[in-house]
Structure 1
Amino acid sequence: MKHRRNTPAFTFLAWASFVLSFLAMFIGIYTLDASLPVKGYYVVSALFLTMSSFVLQKTIRDNQEDDRNAGVGLYGEPEEKRQKNTSS
């Protein structure tokens, strides 16, 4: 069985908050008293912000996993060197 870092309740909370905030944003844009081009601008901006947030968090996570797999510490120096410096 695959080990999960988060509990099912926390995963549900994360997805529920994402969906609810997404719906609230689009309901707010739909009911906004503005012209169609203004609403379109807000929709495109909201979608771009959402997509770029996902891409940014994936890139950061992938880079951290690559560093961990390569034995590189948090500050970019090799893990062995960092451990020697802290134990001295």
Structure 2
Amino acid sequence: MENQVKIQTEKKAKEKIKEDFNAKPTPAFIAASWGSLLIGMVSFCVGLWNATMQLNEKGYYFTILLFGLFSVISVQKTVRDKLEGIPVTDIYYGVSWFVTIASILLLIIGLWNATLDLSEKGFYGISFFLSLFAAIAVQKNTRDVKFLEQKDK
């Protein structure tokens, strides 16, 4: 009996979240998110292109950028799915967080051991984190707009 009450209470809470959410992201925020993503990714890639490091090092940093972008999008999706009441396995949720942390640690370890100037290390770190943050914002905006379109139908 307690489980039924708990499940019904959880369902009502999730339905209330769905009913209360009606804030469509503004076009300015959407544009700023896409602009930040573009600036972060292009800056990181141009920095790699102009770097004097070996090709395998450039590949390492480029792969970490792609790995990080995919992982934060996956984390944002699982968090949003849970919020909307869409089932998400604990394993996938945990793996999403693990690969996000792993991509950040791999970048930090790579930059720590690299023979680059501190200004270059800072540049790659900042452009990487700008890209990750912007990817989360773009994914959130996309989900918000899609959610509101489906809600209106």
Both structures adopt the same fold (TM-score exceeding 0.5): yes
Distance 1:5 1:29 in 2: 38
Distance 1:4 1:67 in 2: 17
Q: What is the TM-score normalised by the length of structure 1?
A: 0.74
Structure 1 ranges of 4+ moved more than 2 A: 1-5
For residue 43 of structure 1, what is the amino acid of its counterpart?
Answer: G
Tell whether 2:95 aligns with 1:22. Answer: no
Distance 1:43 1:35 in 2: 12
Tell whether 2:129 aligns with 1:47. Answer: yes
Structure 2 matches for 1:73-88, cutoff 5 A? Answer: none
Equivalent in the alignment of 1:35: 117
Q: Structure 2 regions of 5+ residues with no counterpart?
A: 1-6, 11-84
Q: What is the TM-score normalised by the length of structure 2?
A: 0.44
* CA shift for structure 1 position 5: 2.2
Q: Structure 1 regions of 5+ residues with no counterpart?
A: 72-88
Identify the match of residue 56 of structure 1 among 138, 146, 149.
Answer: 138
Count of residues in Structure 1 that have an aligned counterpart in Structure 2: 71
Structure 1 counterpart SS, 2:116: coil
Distance 1:33 1:13 in 2: 31
| Structure of higher RCO (CA pairs closer than 8 Å, 6+ residues apart) | 2
Distance 2:117 2:131 in 1: 21
Distance 2:114 2:148 in 1: 44
Equivalent in the alignment of 2:48: none
* Higher helix fraction (1 or 2): 2
CA RMSD of aligned residues (A): 1.2
Residue by residue over 1:5-36, the C-alpha shift from the partner in whole angstroms, topping out at 9 and shown as x without a partner, is 21111100111111111111111111111101
Larger radius of gyration: 1
